[in-house]
Structure 1
Amino acid sequence: MDAGNAIEVSGLGIRFRRGRRGRRSIKSMFAGSKRRDTKDEFWALDDVSFTVKPGETIGVVGRNGQGKSTLLKLVAGVLLPDAGTVQVNGGVAPLIEITGGFVGDLTVRENVRLTAGLHGMTKAQIAERYDAMISFAELEDFQDTPYRHLSNGMKVRLAFSVVSQLDEPILLVDEVLAVGDKAFREKCYARIDEMLADGRTLFFVSHHESDLKRFCTRGLYIRDHRLVLDGPLADVLKAYNSDN
């Protein structure tokens, strides 16, 4: 990997199976056959290549089901490719399905410590930033409440608050700003502005042009599961809107 790049993606492809969440049939697992039935497979992403420099702010656009969120999960290491490579220079702060990983029976306090630790924070860092995370999420009065008793809005606030305190240089955001009330979205915007002012790299999936224009200068347009345009955000949005 070129040390000057934050992200390098080359010939990237991943395939899934339609129906039954992509699982193999019982027959295929026990019949002893090594042949793979590919008739129900499709490429969610196919032959995608690009590089991202440190500090760049990238907006990913495309219609639903074209592979945008899958691309973020591949960059985050949540998914593994079937073709090509993804190389990331530095850690990532993933705002992707952010309420995943929290434990319903644990309290807010316990979940903050667990989730922050799983993301790589030390005990000292968690202790130092705990009050800030709780305050940002506006959950001071719910610290000893089981997570499962929180409203959906509270869960999103807590998850964003924890992940946005990570020091990782690459920020991955997938539509998280579309959730929550207006006041909280404005807090999220301000927090992301702070992170970008520190020189973070942003990889941002959104259907909201105003959000893309606020944060991003470069765009990637995914159509038919392929990267069809990589360039200035204004040009990418123009092409996307023309097609749709």
Structure 2
Amino acid sequence: MPETEATPVVMTVTDAGIRFRRNRRGRRNFKDLFAGRKRRSRPGEFWALRNVTITVRAGEAIGVVGRNGQGKSTLLKLVAGVILPDEGTVDVRQGVAPLIEITGGFVDDLSVRDNVYLTAGLHGMTKAMVDARFDEIIDFAEIGDFLDTPYKHLSSGMKVRIAFAVISRLEEPIILVDEVLAVGDKAFREKCYRRIEELLASGRTLFFVSHNERDLRRFCTRGLYLDKGALVLDAPIAEVLARYNAEYGTA
């Protein structure tokens, strides 16, 4: 489909590949040290992603499907600019709001209040912008009683709350969500999902990594099926889930 003013291309990934080392030669893990044995070295590298090509248009909601360790999170980090491709190109034409790792950007010893300003600032929000949204962020996270508590003392669920509250208030057009909402309780997760629906209704573009088929069908119209670092299928989400389920069972 040719690019139009109504549906501009916001991202192109062309023959992209990411290569990682299998291990750090000479290092031993705790089990090896405890047992007093040498670790067998497995030198070499592997491709977490390779030959991946996709084009994304404004307003698309894309579900990324695959087993653990097949490149889903790596793809989102590539889109977010956290890592750079070893081959191929990635052209992201709009800003990205990544909810990939709940601890990303947060400092354990700082208070919740300070972390809100710090993390929002790292994503480009000015102090005045955070001031204007601060009450909204805290109310959404339902964490007002813990504003001056060190971040490290929060539970995993509370960390998800504050992270999602901050990231979902960014004005970036592209949103990346990678599994993290699975940690939250059911009521708050539904609250986050309603917020995602609001963002989609406003024209945002979504990348959504999940093993929950119901959630993938709820938000996404398009699916990317990754297996062994390769893009196996790029198609409507129902077709992608049917293919995945036929090969490996439920998402």
TM-score (normalised: structure 2): 0.88
Query: Offset of 1:168 from its aligned partner?
Result: 0.3
CA RMSD across the alignment: 1.6
Deviation at 1:179, TM superposition (A): 1.3
CA distance in 2, matches of 1:48, 1:100: 26
Q: Provide the C-alpha distance between the structure 2 equivalents of 1:58 and 1:181, rounded to a whole number of angstroms.
A: 24
Residue 32 of structure 2 corresponds to none
In structure 2, the residue matched to 1:221 is 225
Of 73, 78, 84, which aligns to 2:88? Answer: 84
Q: Check if 1:205 corresponds to 2:236.
A: no
Q: Report the counterpart of residue 33 of structure 1 in structure 2.
A: none
What per-residue deviation string (whole Å, max 9, x for no partner) do you get for residues 70-97 of structure 1?
Answer: 0000000001110001111110010100
Moved over 6 A (4+): none
The answer to whether the Cα contact below 8 Å between 2:175 and 2:205 also exists between their aligned partners in 1 is yes
Name the SS of the counterpart of 2:19 in structure 1.
strand
Counterpart CA distance in 2 for 1:45 and 1:54 is 24
Q: CA deviation at 1:98?
A: 2.3
5+ unaligned residues in a row in structure 1: which ranges?
Answer: 27-37
Letter in 2 for 1:96: I
- Corresponding position of 2:31: none
| Residue 47 of structure 1: how far off its partner (Å) | 0.3
- Residue of structure 2 equivalent to 1:31: none
Matched, 1:57 2:61: yes
| Deviation, structure 1 residue 156 | 1.1
Secondary structure in structure 2 of the residue aligned to 1:101:
coil
Query: Which residue of 89, 95, 99 maps to 1:95?
Result: 99
- Per the alignment, in what secondary structure is the counterpart of residue 45 of structure 1? strand
TM-score by length of 1: 0.90
CA displacement at 1:211 relative to structure 2: 0.6
Equivalent residue for 1:32? Answer: none
Deviation digits for residues 26-78 of structure 1, max 9, x if unmatched? 9xxxxxxxxxxx95100100100010100011111011111010000000000
Is there any run of 5+ residues in structure 2 with no aligned partner, and where? 28-41
Specify the SS of the correspondent of 1:55: coil
Distance 1:39 1:158 in 2: 40
Identity of aligned residues (%): 69
